[in-house]
A and B are shown apart, each in its own frame.
Chain A
Amino acid sequence: GESVGLHLPTLSVQEGDNSIINCAYSNSASDYFIWYKQESGKGPQFIIDIRSNMDKRQGQRVTVLLNKTVKHLSLQIAATQPGDSAVYFCAEGRGFQKLVFGTGTRLLVSP
């Protein structure tokens, strides 16, 4: 889940496992949600997005689920690989292009 402190929550998985990273968003009026991946020393990289009129969207090896009732977003990564190790964070969009970002979850993938 998302962190409110200095230490990011960490999800440790084995290579080949499925990973699920969770995010609680704050504003029920948000209508757009994005997942980003950030590797050390690099900028956030767009993974997948979803609009509020959808509850599921699939990409390559990734699926985003949106539960508006409880304001919850999750990112599922299938067959996790060592290259998936990074910090993942969600962002919610409300209004003109103003995204609000979570603090992230660290994913560690062991060979």
Chain B
Amino acid sequence: DAGITQSPRHKVTETGTPVTLRCHQTENHRYMYWYRQDPGHGLRLIHYSYGVKDTDKGEVSDGYSVSRSKTEDFLLTLESATSSQTSVYFCAISALRDSNQPQHFGDGTRLSIL
């Protein structure tokens, strides 16, 4: 298994509170991604990073921010959580820029916003 650790694995919080999810990798891969997974939808890209301090938006980035101060850590922040952000969040990593490389995923964070 790829060395990807997501924390926390489960979190319940209230609307309006800030939430930060962490993804930690031990593979020294350059590219990291945050996805959300919801019933009826495939995985949807929130943000991704192509290097330390280099990030870009995905298709569902509204309400989320990210930071990557070290190669191994990629943080996803919900500044003011809303119920629509209740989801399972997955981090993924990949080694190369070439699109012909698989992404490898962590085991997810289940986030419930009440």
Q: Is A103 a contact of B41 with CB atoms below 8 Å? A: yes
Is B102 an interface residue when CB atoms closer than 8 A count as contact?
A: yes
Q: Is A103 a contact of B99 with CB atoms below 8 Å? A: no
Can you list, as one digit per residue, whether each of B6-49 has a CB less than 8 Å from chain A (1) or not (0)?
Answer: 00000000000000000000000001010000011111110010
Is A3 an interface residue when CB atoms closer than 8 A count as contact?
A: yes
Q: Is B99 a contact of A32 with CB atoms below 8 Å? A: yes
Number of A-B contacts (CB under 8 A): 63
Q: Is B40 a contact of A6 with CB atoms below 8 Å? A: yes
Q: Is B99 a contact of A44 with CB atoms below 8 Å? A: no
Q: Is A97 a contact of B102 with CB atoms below 8 Å? A: no
A40 to chain B, nearest CB (A): 11
Complex CA distance for A72 and B100, rounded to whole angstroms: 18
Specify the chain B residue showing the minimal Cβ separation from A102: B42
Residues of chain B within 8 A (CB-CB) of A67 are none
How many chain B residues touch A (Cβ–Cβ < 8 Å)? 25
Complex CA distance for A44 and B89, rounded to whole angstroms: 12
Q: Is A96 a contact of B99 with CB atoms below 8 Å? A: yes
A87 to chain B, nearest CB (A): 10
Other-chain residue from A42, A91, A96 in contact with B108 (beta carbon distance below 8 A): A42
Is A64 an interface residue when CB atoms closer than 8 A count as contact?
A: no
Residues of A bordering B, CB below 8 Å = 3-6, 31-32, 34, 36, 41-46, 49, 51, 89, 91, 93-104
| Nearest 10 interchain pairs by C-beta | A101-B42, A43-B105, A101-B43, A46-B102, A6-B40, A93-B99, A43-B107, A44-B105, A32-B100, A103-B42
Query: With contacts A42-B107, A101-B42 known, what are 5 further pairs, Cβ within 8 A?
Result: A6-B39, A31-B100, A32-B99, A41-B108, A101-B44
Can you sample 9 A-B contacts with CB below 8 Å? Answer: A4-B40, A31-B99, A31-B100, A32-B100, A42-B108, A49-B100, A94-B99, A96-B99, A98-B58
